[in-house]
């Protein structure tokens, strides 16, 4: 990759909490830079023991159609190297639409970034269902929920490249405010992003099918923010 734009990411406060006292400027999460020559991009490669701040949102386990996942780091499957990736263990319910996912809590400043990319692997098929990944960004002082129009379908046993524009020029690439006016785009709130969510959605291919609960693992690697 070759990039030319410079990125200004606010430094994180040394304190452990990321929520500012009333009246103070927000304490931004520190973001890991990619190796040279792409140091102005941000990379999450998961080669260490930790998840680099990514976790499953707690509220996913409190709603019928959202399922909590156990999130850790494990050997990267389907490759010949000894690399590692984020590992999600999930019991998928027998519903016609359900989802799990991961999030990075902020605040972070994404105003200098135009694209999020990743690689995602569904380890085995979900019988009777198609599975796709979608980007969601919660942003602004009012915590607007911006949901990408476009989603990327996954294929069992294969690493699938995922990419989502943060402020797409075409209608299909837009990140739109789910609760507010549909024409309200993420670009106005990119400087204060509260959460970045990668949602994995399973949808029944036949609404009349008899679906059952099934355990399936997902691996996610190389989450990158590109200027």
Please write the tens of the pLDDT for every residue from 124-160.
988 889 999 999 988 888 888 888 888 999 999 999 9
Query: Residue 153 belongs to a domain with what CATH number?
Result: 2.60.120.260
Percent of residues in the chain assigned helix, strand, coil, to nearest 5: 5, 40, 50
CA distances from 46 to 6, 40, 71, 96, 132 (A): 24, 19, 12, 32, 22
Please indicate whether residue 189 or residue 134 has the higher confidence score (pLDDT).
134
Is 77 among the domain residues? yes
| SS3 category, 199 | strand
Is 75 among the domain residues? yes
Note the pLDDT of residue 33.
85
Is 202 among the domain residues? yes
Q: Show Cβ contacts of residue 23 under 8 Å, excluding neighbours closer than 6 positions.
A: none
Please indicate whether residue 120 or residue 27 has the higher confidence score (pLDDT).
120
Is 27 among the domain residues? no
Note the pLDDT of residue 15.
30
Note the pLDDT of residue 1.
36
**pLDDT tens digit string along 175-186?**
665 555 454 556
Q: Please state the rounded mean pLDDT for residues 95-113.
A: 91
Is 70 among the domain residues? yes
Note the pLDDT of residue 149.
82
Is 198 among the domain residues? yes
Q: Which domain holds residue 48?
A: 42-226
Decide: residue 45, CB within 10 A, 0-12 exposed, 13-18 middle, 19+ buried: middle
Note the pLDDT of residue 189.
74
Q: Which helix (H) or strand (E) holds 71?
A: strand 70-75
CA distance 69 to 8: 33
Note the pLDDT of residue 18.
38
Domain count, the chain: 1
CA distance 164 to 144: 18
Tokens of 54: 């990514």
Decide: residue 71, CB within 10 A, 0-12 exposed, 13-18 middle, 19+ buried: buried
Please indicate whether residue 199 or residue 58 has the higher confidence score (pLDDT).
199
Decide: residue 111, CB within 10 A, 0-12 exposed, 13-18 middle, 19+ buried: middle
- Phi/psi of residue 73, nearest 5 degrees: -120, 135
Is 33 among the domain residues? no
């Amino acid at each position: 990759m070759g990039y030319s734009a410079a990125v200004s990411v606010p430094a994180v406060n040394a304190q452990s909490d990321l929520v500012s006292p009333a009246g103070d400027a927000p304490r931004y999460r520190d973001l890991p830079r990619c190796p040279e020559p792409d140091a102005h991009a941000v990379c999450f490669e998961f080669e260490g023991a930790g998840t680099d701040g990514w976790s499953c949102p707690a509220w996913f386990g409190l709603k019928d159609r959202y399922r909590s996942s156990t999130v850790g780091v494990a050997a990267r499957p389907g490759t010949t190297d000894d690399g590692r990736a984020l590992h999600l263990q999930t019991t998928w319910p027998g519903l016609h639409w359900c989802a799990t996912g991961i999030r990075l809590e902020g605040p972070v400043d994404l105003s200098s970034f135009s694209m999020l990319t990743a690689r995602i692997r569904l380890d085995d098929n979900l019988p009777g269902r198609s599975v796709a990944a979608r980007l969601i960004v919660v942003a602004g002082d009012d915590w607007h929920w911006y949901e990408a129009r476009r989603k990327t379908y996954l294929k069992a046993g294969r690493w699938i490249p995922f990419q989502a524009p943060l402020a797409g020029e075409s209608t299909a690439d837009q990140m739109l405010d789910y609760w507010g006016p549909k024409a309200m785009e993420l670009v106005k709130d990119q400087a204060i992003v509260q959460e970045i969510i990668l949602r994995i959605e399973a949808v029944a291919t036949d609404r009349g099918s008899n679906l059952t609960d099934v355990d399936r693992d997902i691996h996610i690697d190389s989450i990158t923010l590109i200027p």
